[in-house]
Amino acid sequence: MKQKVLFFYFLIISISTFGQNQASSDEEMSDDKIKFEERYKKAKQNFVDGSHDKVVAYYDSILNISRYTRITTYKMAYDSYIQLSSKNPERQDSLKTKAEDVYNQALKWYGEMYLEKKWDNIVIDPKAEKDYFDVIEKRAEYPGGISAFYSYISENITYPIEAKKNGIEGKVYVTFMVNIDGTIDAVNVIRGIDSECDAEAVRVISKANKFIPALTKGEPQFVRMQIPINFGLISTYEAKSKKRKRKRNKNRS
Protein backbone atom coordinates (compact mmCIF):
# COMPACT_ATOMS: atom_id res chain seq x y z
CA MET A 1 0.00 0.00 0.00
CA LYS A 2 2.84 2.34 0.92
CA GLN A 3 4.51 1.63 -2.44
CA LYS A 4 1.28 2.51 -4.30
CA VAL A 5 0.96 5.81 -2.41
CA LEU A 6 4.57 6.71 -3.23
CA PHE A 7 4.04 5.81 -6.89
CA PHE A 8 0.98 8.08 -7.22
CA TYR A 9 2.81 10.85 -5.35
CA PHE A 10 5.70 10.78 -7.83
CA LEU A 11 3.25 10.54 -10.74
CA ILE A 12 1.44 13.71 -9.58
CA ILE A 13 4.77 15.53 -9.11
CA SER A 14 5.90 14.46 -12.60
CA ILE A 15 2.67 15.64 -14.25
CA SER A 16 2.85 18.94 -12.38
CA THR A 17 6.48 19.49 -13.43
CA PHE A 18 5.68 18.63 -17.04
CA GLY A 19 2.85 21.17 -17.02
CA GLN A 20 5.15 23.86 -15.64
CA ASN A 21 7.83 23.09 -18.23
CA GLN A 22 5.26 23.16 -21.01
CA ALA A 23 3.90 26.52 -19.81
CA SER A 24 7.45 27.87 -19.56
CA SER A 25 8.18 26.69 -23.11
CA ASP A 26 5.00 28.37 -24.39
CA GLU A 27 5.99 31.60 -22.64
CA GLU A 28 9.45 31.48 -24.24
CA MET A 29 7.92 30.94 -27.67
CA SER A 30 5.57 33.82 -27.03
CA ASP A 31 8.49 36.06 -25.96
CA ASP A 32 10.44 35.07 -29.08
CA LYS A 33 7.45 35.90 -31.24
CA ILE A 34 7.03 39.31 -29.58
CA LYS A 35 10.73 40.15 -29.95
CA PHE A 36 10.65 39.06 -33.56
CA GLU A 37 7.61 41.20 -34.35
CA GLU A 38 9.15 44.20 -32.57
CA ARG A 39 12.30 43.90 -34.69
CA TYR A 40 10.18 43.39 -37.79
CA LYS A 41 8.25 46.64 -37.14
CA LYS A 42 11.46 48.50 -36.31
CA ALA A 43 13.06 47.28 -39.52
CA LYS A 44 10.13 48.43 -41.60
CA GLN A 45 10.36 51.91 -40.11
CA ASN A 46 14.15 52.21 -40.10
CA PHE A 47 14.61 51.17 -43.71
CA VAL A 48 11.99 53.32 -45.42
CA ASP A 49 14.88 55.39 -46.78
CA GLY A 50 17.37 52.51 -47.07
CA SER A 51 18.34 50.69 -50.26
CA HIS A 52 16.66 47.34 -50.81
CA ASP A 53 19.90 45.37 -50.41
CA LYS A 54 20.32 46.81 -46.89
CA VAL A 55 16.79 45.75 -46.01
CA VAL A 56 17.45 42.20 -47.20
CA ALA A 57 20.76 42.12 -45.30
CA TYR A 58 19.01 43.31 -42.13
CA TYR A 59 16.34 40.62 -42.39
CA ASP A 60 19.08 38.05 -42.96
CA SER A 61 20.57 39.11 -39.63
CA ILE A 62 17.35 38.77 -37.59
CA LEU A 63 16.19 35.46 -39.06
CA ASN A 64 17.58 32.07 -38.13
CA ILE A 65 19.14 31.38 -41.52
CA SER A 66 19.91 27.75 -40.65
CA ARG A 67 16.14 27.12 -40.82
CA TYR A 68 15.33 29.54 -43.63
CA THR A 69 16.31 29.82 -47.22
CA ARG A 70 17.11 33.36 -48.28
CA ILE A 71 13.87 33.49 -50.27
CA THR A 72 12.17 34.21 -46.93
CA THR A 73 14.18 37.38 -46.39
CA TYR A 74 13.39 38.57 -49.90
CA LYS A 75 9.67 37.99 -49.30
CA MET A 76 9.90 39.71 -45.91
CA ALA A 77 11.53 42.82 -47.39
CA TYR A 78 9.09 42.83 -50.32
CA ASP A 79 6.04 42.64 -48.04
CA SER A 80 7.46 45.43 -45.87
CA TYR A 81 7.78 47.77 -48.84
CA ILE A 82 4.28 46.95 -50.10
CA GLN A 83 2.76 47.58 -46.64
CA LEU A 84 4.71 50.82 -46.23
CA SER A 85 3.65 52.05 -49.67
CA SER A 86 -0.03 51.72 -48.71
CA LYS A 87 0.56 53.75 -45.53
CA ASN A 88 2.72 56.43 -47.16
CA PRO A 89 0.83 57.67 -50.25
CA GLU A 90 3.32 60.48 -50.84
CA ARG A 91 6.14 57.93 -51.21
CA GLN A 92 4.13 55.14 -52.77
CA ASP A 93 5.97 55.10 -56.11
CA SER A 94 9.49 54.98 -54.64
CA LEU A 95 8.54 52.27 -52.13
CA LYS A 96 6.90 50.14 -54.81
CA THR A 97 10.04 50.51 -56.92
CA LYS A 98 12.07 49.16 -54.00
CA ALA A 99 9.64 46.25 -53.69
CA GLU A 100 10.21 45.49 -57.39
CA ASP A 101 13.99 45.68 -56.84
CA VAL A 102 13.71 43.06 -54.10
CA TYR A 103 11.54 40.81 -56.29
CA ASN A 104 14.02 41.11 -59.16
CA GLN A 105 16.84 40.19 -56.80
CA ALA A 106 14.91 37.07 -55.77
CA LEU A 107 14.22 36.36 -59.44
CA LYS A 108 17.93 36.45 -60.20
CA TRP A 109 18.70 33.77 -57.58
CA TYR A 110 15.60 31.57 -57.78
CA GLY A 111 14.23 31.92 -61.30
CA GLU A 112 10.82 32.65 -62.73
CA MET A 113 9.25 29.20 -62.45
CA TYR A 114 10.26 28.77 -58.79
CA LEU A 115 8.83 32.15 -57.80
CA GLU A 116 5.59 31.49 -59.68
CA LYS A 117 5.09 28.30 -57.66
CA LYS A 118 6.44 29.37 -54.24
CA TRP A 119 6.30 33.16 -53.78
CA ASP A 120 2.68 33.50 -52.60
CA ASN A 121 3.01 30.53 -50.21
CA ILE A 122 5.98 31.85 -48.23
CA VAL A 123 4.93 32.45 -44.62
CA ILE A 124 7.05 34.73 -42.42
CA ASP A 125 7.15 32.98 -39.07
CA PRO A 126 10.09 33.04 -36.61
CA LYS A 127 9.28 29.50 -35.45
CA ALA A 128 8.76 28.01 -38.90
CA GLU A 129 10.59 24.76 -39.54
CA LYS A 130 9.57 24.58 -43.21
CA ASP A 131 12.23 24.98 -45.84
CA TYR A 132 11.08 26.27 -49.19
CA PHE A 133 13.04 23.57 -50.94
CA ASP A 134 11.29 20.24 -50.47
CA VAL A 135 13.09 17.15 -49.17
CA ILE A 136 14.63 15.38 -52.16
CA GLU A 137 14.53 11.59 -52.48
CA LYS A 138 16.18 11.38 -55.90
CA ARG A 139 18.63 14.06 -57.00
CA ALA A 140 18.43 15.90 -60.31
CA GLU A 141 20.75 14.37 -62.89
CA TYR A 142 22.20 15.39 -66.23
CA PRO A 143 21.42 12.80 -68.96
CA GLY A 144 24.33 10.36 -68.82
CA GLY A 145 25.36 11.41 -65.31
CA ILE A 146 27.89 13.84 -63.85
CA SER A 147 30.71 12.66 -66.16
CA ALA A 148 28.54 13.50 -69.19
CA PHE A 149 27.86 16.95 -67.69
CA TYR A 150 31.58 17.62 -67.23
CA SER A 151 32.22 16.37 -70.78
CA TYR A 152 29.63 18.83 -72.08
CA ILE A 153 31.32 21.67 -70.16
CA SER A 154 34.86 20.83 -71.35
CA GLU A 155 33.71 20.51 -74.98
CA ASN A 156 31.77 23.78 -75.01
CA ILE A 157 33.66 26.17 -72.76
CA THR A 158 36.03 28.76 -74.23
CA TYR A 159 38.94 30.14 -72.25
CA PRO A 160 38.71 33.96 -72.55
CA ILE A 161 41.71 35.28 -74.51
CA GLU A 162 42.50 38.17 -72.15
CA ALA A 163 42.29 35.93 -69.08
CA LYS A 164 44.64 33.43 -70.71
CA LYS A 165 47.03 36.20 -71.75
CA ASN A 166 47.09 37.58 -68.19
CA GLY A 167 47.69 34.17 -66.64
CA ILE A 168 44.33 34.08 -64.85
CA GLU A 169 43.29 30.59 -63.81
CA GLY A 170 41.32 28.85 -61.08
CA LYS A 171 37.85 27.55 -60.28
CA VAL A 172 34.61 29.42 -60.85
CA TYR A 173 31.84 28.16 -58.56
CA VAL A 174 28.44 28.35 -60.21
CA THR A 175 25.02 27.77 -58.64
CA PHE A 176 21.85 27.17 -60.63
CA MET A 177 18.26 26.06 -60.26
CA VAL A 178 16.97 22.87 -61.86
CA ASN A 179 13.25 23.42 -62.37
CA ILE A 180 10.51 20.81 -62.10
CA ASP A 181 10.58 20.40 -65.89
CA GLY A 182 14.38 19.90 -65.90
CA THR A 183 15.20 23.31 -67.38
CA ILE A 184 18.06 25.35 -65.92
CA ASP A 185 17.40 28.78 -64.46
CA ALA A 186 18.95 31.39 -62.14
CA VAL A 187 22.59 30.68 -63.05
CA ASN A 188 24.90 32.72 -60.80
CA VAL A 189 28.56 32.82 -59.82
CA ILE A 190 29.04 32.52 -56.07
CA ARG A 191 32.85 32.59 -56.22
CA GLY A 192 34.67 33.74 -59.30
CA ILE A 193 38.17 34.52 -60.58
CA ASP A 194 37.68 37.09 -63.35
CA SER A 195 34.69 38.81 -64.97
CA GLU A 196 35.27 37.16 -68.37
CA CYS A 197 35.82 33.67 -66.94
CA ASP A 198 32.79 34.11 -64.68
CA ALA A 199 30.61 35.16 -67.63
CA GLU A 200 31.82 32.21 -69.71
CA ALA A 201 31.00 29.78 -66.89
CA VAL A 202 27.47 31.21 -66.64
CA ARG A 203 27.05 31.03 -70.43
CA VAL A 204 28.04 27.37 -70.75
CA ILE A 205 25.84 26.24 -67.84
CA SER A 206 22.88 28.25 -69.16
CA LYS A 207 23.14 26.49 -72.54
CA ALA A 208 23.17 22.96 -71.09
CA ASN A 209 20.49 20.44 -72.00
CA LYS A 210 17.60 19.70 -69.67
CA PHE A 211 18.33 17.72 -66.52
CA ILE A 212 16.26 14.80 -65.31
CA PRO A 213 14.44 16.62 -62.47
CA ALA A 214 14.77 15.76 -58.79
CA LEU A 215 11.97 13.60 -57.38
CA THR A 216 10.13 13.06 -54.11
CA LYS A 217 7.43 10.37 -54.02
CA GLY A 218 7.52 10.37 -57.80
CA GLU A 219 6.80 14.11 -58.04
CA PRO A 220 9.35 16.48 -59.66
CA GLN A 221 10.92 19.04 -57.30
CA PHE A 222 12.92 22.25 -57.60
CA VAL A 223 16.52 21.89 -56.54
CA ARG A 224 19.52 24.20 -56.42
CA MET A 225 22.81 22.76 -57.63
CA GLN A 226 26.40 23.94 -57.48
CA ILE A 227 29.38 23.04 -59.63
CA PRO A 228 33.02 24.20 -59.89
CA ILE A 229 34.31 24.98 -63.40
CA ASN A 230 38.07 24.90 -63.77
CA PHE A 231 40.02 27.30 -65.95
CA GLY A 232 43.58 25.96 -66.17
CA LEU A 233 46.52 27.14 -68.26
CA ILE A 234 48.02 23.65 -68.55
CA SER A 235 46.41 20.62 -70.14
CA THR A 236 44.86 17.79 -68.16
CA TYR A 237 47.73 15.51 -69.28
CA GLU A 238 50.34 17.99 -68.02
CA ALA A 239 48.47 18.43 -64.75
CA LYS A 240 48.35 14.66 -64.15
CA SER A 241 52.02 14.35 -65.11
CA LYS A 242 53.02 17.02 -62.57
CA LYS A 243 50.89 15.35 -59.91
CA ARG A 244 52.59 11.98 -60.52
CA LYS A 245 56.01 13.65 -60.37
CA ARG A 246 55.21 15.31 -57.03
CA LYS A 247 54.01 11.97 -55.68
CA ARG A 248 57.24 10.21 -56.76
CA ASN A 249 59.37 12.92 -55.17
CA LYS A 250 57.36 12.67 -51.95
CA ASN A 251 57.80 8.88 -51.83
CA ARG A 252 61.57 9.20 -52.33
CA SER A 253 61.88 11.66 -49.48
- Record the pTM: 0.67
User: Of 53, 35, 55, 36, whose CA–CA distance to 45 is shortest?
Assistant: 55
pLDDT tens, position by position, 217-242: 889 999 989 999 999 876 544 455 55
pLDDT attached to residue 95: 85
Query: Hey, is 141 helix, strand or coil?
Result: strand
CA 141 to chain centre: 19
What is the enclosing helix (H) or strand (E) of 133?
none
Question: How do beta strands 219-221 and 223-231 pair?
Answer: unpaired
User: What is residue 67's predicted lDDT score, i.e. its pLDDT?
Assistant: 42
* Residue spans of beta strands (DSSP E) within the chain: 170-178, 184-191, 214-216, 219-221, 223-231
Task: For residue range 56-78, list pLDDT tens digits in order.
Answer: 666 666 555 444 457 877 888 88
Among 44, 108, 106, 43, which Cα is nearest to 75's? 106
Which residues are paired to 176 by β-bridges?
A: 225
**58 CB-near residues (< 8 Å, 6+ apart):** 43, 46, 47, 50
Could you list the mean pLDDT of each consecutive 10-residue stretch along the chain, which spans 253 residues?
38 35 44 61 57 64 53 83 84 87 90 92 60 75 93 92 91 94 94 94 95 92 91 62 64 68
Domain ranges within the chain, ordered by starting residue: 26-121, 146-252
CATH architecture, domain 146-252? 2-Layer Sandwich (3.30)
Distance of alpha carbon 176 from alpha carbon 203, whole angstroms? 12
Q: What amino acid is encoded at 243 in this protein?
A: K
The answer to whether the CB of 132 falls within 8 A of the CB of 169 is no
